[in-house]
Amino acid sequence: MPIVVFNQKGGVGKSTITCNLAAISASQGLRTLVIDLDPQGNSTNYLLGDSARDDQPTVAGFFEHTLSYSFRSVAPTEFVVPTPYENLDLMPSSPTLNELQVKLESRQKIYKLREALQQLAETYDRIYIDTPPALNFFTRAALIGAAGCLIPFDCDSFSRQALYTLLENVQEIRADHNPDLQVDGIVVNQFQPRANLPQRMVAELIDEGLPVLQPYLPSSVKVRESHELSRPMIYLDPNHKITLAFVELHDGLRS
């Protein structure tokens, strides 16, 4: 069941949520894959750190192959690399994704990722897709190929304004391309329970009937440490409060 983590607003924790949920899946014995579609490569850096290599396969290589006229069949697993963590693999990002976007759009390759995900589902129990902070070719391709979508939300007025447009965009893709696509929920990130604004804003979303997930992810400097060490929280500090919140969130998602 591929899950897309998506928000058109940057800095809301997409990569952090993607990698920590994937790490928990892997730690529970599930064969897990992260696909990093963001040219910034935050998920790639988070999971590989110093073990990343310039000559490694990337998701850009996969998309470049879809543009080629080669008769050689290449399995999408050829663009996957192992991470330092058992059961956790990665299809790394590349800055060249930006250059490929126009070519992929003009050649109408929007469904190629869905085809690859169908093949990858034969190898992996869980697939998580990190996306750019924009509704561009790569985000649309991911939503067309996925079964579920998680929306990070960081409790400010700009995020709330963008949330309604985002939900409309997901609904449009569902209607036009992928009737199986579901919004699995809104993930409240960097939540400060003692502040009035986050409490009020989340309560209003719930009153509007939006699918706000529990638990809310607390703000923690430990997450920044995990970024610096390229070590997801389940491996860095399995008993930390934010690790336990990630585990609860993970276990509450539909399998």
Q: Is 230 left (phi over 0), alpha (psi -120 to 50) or beta?
A: left
The angle at the Cα of 143, spanning 168 to 17, to the nearest 5 degrees, equals 95
pLDDT over threshold 90, residue 53: no
128-156 burial code (b ≥16 CB/10 A, e <16): bbbbbbebbbbbbbbbbbbbbbbbbbbbe
72-90 burial code (b ≥16 CB/10 A, e <16): eeeebbebbbebebebbbb
Domains of the chain in start order, with CATH, are: 2-252 (3.40.50.300)
pLDDT over threshold 80, residue 194: no
Q: What is the mean pLDDT of the chain?
A: 93
- Show contacts of 235-243: CB within 8 Å, 24+ apart: 235/23, 235/27, 235/85, 242/217, 242/218, 243/20
pTM of the model: 0.96
Tally of CB atoms within 10 A around 68: 9
Query: Percentage of residues in the chain with pLDDT exceeding 70?
Result: 98
Q: What is the pLDDT of residues 97-146, one digit of tens each?
A: 999 999 999 999 999 999 999 999 999 999 999 999 999 999 999 999 99
Q: What pLDDT shows up at residue 10? A: 84
Kindly report whether the peptide bond that precedes residue 39 is cis, defined as omega within 30 degrees of 0: no
The angle at the Cα of 226, spanning 186 to 48, to the nearest 5 degrees, equals 95
For residue 21, the Cα-to-chain-centroid distance in whole angstroms is 9
